[in-house]
Chains A and B, each alone.
Chain A
Amino acid sequence: MVEIDAISKTFTKERKAVDAVSFTVRKGEIFGLLGHNGAGKSTLLGCMLGMVYPDQGEVRIDGISVQQERNRALRKVGAIFEAPAFYDYLSGWQNLKILAALSGFTDRTEISRVVDLVNLTERIKHPVGTYSHGMRQRLALAQALLPSPEVLLLDEPTDGLDPEGIREFRDFVLRLRDERGMTILFNSHLLAEVELLCDRVAIIKRGRLLYTGDGADLRQQSQRFSFVVDDWTRLLAVAEPLGGRPDGESHLHLPLNLDVAEVVAAAVQAGVRVREVHRHKETLEDLYLKVSA
Chain B
Amino acid sequence: MILFLRQLWGELVKMSARKRTYVGFGAFLGLEAGLVWILNTPPARRHFQRLIESGGFDFTDYWSMLSLSFLIISWTVFLLGGIYLALVMGDIVAKETEEGSFRLLMSRPVSRLRILALKFCAGTIYTFALIFFIGLTSLAAGALNRGWGGGMFIWAPEQGVFEMYPFADGLLRYLGGLPLLALSTLTTASVAFMFSCFKIKPATAAIMAVTVSIVDMILLALPFATGYKEFSLLNHMAVYAKFFANPIPWAQLVKDYTFLLGVDATCFIIGWLAFQSRDFKS
Q: Top 5 nearest A-B pairs by Cβ distance?
A: A85-B100, A98-B10, A74-B109, A79-B107, A51-B280
Contacts of B10 in A (CB 8 A): 97-98, 101-102
Q: Which residue of A lies closest to B107 (CB)?
A: A79
Which of B3, B6, B9, B282 is within 8 Å of A81, CB to CB?
B282
* Contact between chains at A101 and B7 (CB < 8 Å): yes
With A70-B111, A89-B18, A90-B13 already in contact, the answer to whether A99 and B282 are too (CB < 8 A) is no
A226 within 8 A of B: no
Q: How far is the CA of A258 from the CA of B18 in the complex (A)?
A: 70
B175 within 8 A of A: no
> Which stretch, A41-49, A191-199, A232-240, touches the partner chain B?
A41-49
* Contact between chains at B108 and A103 (CB < 8 Å): yes
Contacts of B251 in A (CB 8 A): none
A82 within 8 A of B: yes
Binding site for A on B (CB under 8 A): 3, 6-7, 9-11, 13-14, 17-19, 99-101, 103-111, 115, 279-282
With A94-B13, A102-B7 already in contact, the answer to whether A85 and B109 are too (CB < 8 A) is no
A227 within 8 A of B: no
- Measured CB to CB, the closest approach of chain A to B146, in angstroms, equals 40
Q: How far is the CA of A80 from the CA of B8 in the complex (A)?
A: 24
* Contact between chains at A87 and B17 (CB < 8 Å): yes
Contacts of B282 in A (CB 8 A): 42, 46, 81-82, 155
A22 within 8 A of B: no
Q: Most chain-A CB neighbours within 10 Å: which of B11, B18, B109, B280?
A: B109
Contacts of A87 in B (CB 8 A): 14, 17, 101
B-contact bits for A79-110, CB 8 A (1 contact / 0 none): 10111111101100010011101111010000
- Measured CB to CB, the closest approach of chain B to A159, in angstroms, equals 11
Q: How far is the CA of A106 from the CA of B8 in the complex (A)?
A: 13
With A74-B107, A90-B14, A104-B3 already in contact, the answer to whether A46 and B280 are too (CB < 8 A) is yes
Q: How far is the CA of A74 from the CA of B14 in the complex (A)?
A: 24
Q: How far is the CA of A101 from the CA of B118 in the complex (A)?
A: 12
- Measured CB to CB, the closest approach of chain B to A105, in angstroms, equals 9
A172 within 8 A of B: no
Binding site for B on A (CB under 8 A): 11, 42-43, 46, 49-53, 70-75, 77-79, 81-87, 89-90, 94, 97-99, 101-104, 106, 143, 153, 155
> A-B pairs with CB below 8 Å: how many?
94
- Measured CB to CB, the closest approach of chain A to B120, in angstroms, equals 16
Q: How far is the CA of A51 from the CA of B278 in the complex (A)?
A: 8
With A75-B109, A101-B10 already in contact, the answer to whether A83 and B280 are too (CB < 8 A) is no
Q: How far is the CA of A46 from the CA of B110 in the complex (A)?
A: 15
* Contact between chains at B280 and A52 (CB < 8 Å): yes
Contacts of A104 in B (CB 8 A): 3, 109
Contacts of A84 in B (CB 8 A): 100, 103-104
With A46-B279, A70-B111 already in contact, the answer to whether A51 and B106 are too (CB < 8 A) is yes
Q: How far is the CA of A137 from the CA of B112 in the complex (A)?
A: 25
Contacts of B279 in A (CB 8 A): 11, 46, 51-53
What are 17 sample pairs from A and B whose C-beta atoms fall under 8 A apart?
A46-B281, A52-B280, A75-B109, A77-B109, A78-B107, A84-B100, A85-B100, A87-B101, A89-B17, A89-B18, A90-B14, A98-B10, A101-B6, A101-B7, A102-B105, A103-B109, A106-B6
Contacts of B3 in A (CB 8 A): 101, 104, 106
Contacts of A101 in B (CB 8 A): 3, 6-7, 9-10
With A51-B279, A106-B6 already in contact, the answer to whether A143 and B109 are too (CB < 8 A) is no
* Contact between chains at B109 and A72 (CB < 8 Å): yes
Contacts of A86 in B (CB 8 A): 101, 104
Contacts of B14 in A (CB 8 A): 87, 90, 98
- Measured CB to CB, the closest approach of chain A to B180, in angstroms, equals 32
Q: How far is the CA of A153 from the CA of B108 in the complex (A)?
A: 12
Which of A71, A85, A103 is within 8 Å of B103, CB to CB?
A85
Q: How far is the CA of A94 from the CA of B111 in the complex (A)?
A: 21
- Measured CB to CB, the closest approach of chain A to B215, in angstroms, equals 33
- Measured CB to CB, the closest approach of chain B to A39, in angstroms, equals 13
* Contact between chains at B99 and A70 (CB < 8 Å): no
Q: Which residue of B lies closest to A45 (CB)?
A: B282
Q: How far is the CA of A44 from the CA of B28 in the complex (A)?
A: 47
* Contact between chains at B13 and A70 (CB < 8 Å): no
**Could you list 5 further interchain pairs (A-B, Cβ under 8 angstroms) beyond the known A99-B104, A103-B109, A104-B3?**
A71-B109, A79-B107, A85-B101, A86-B104, A99-B105
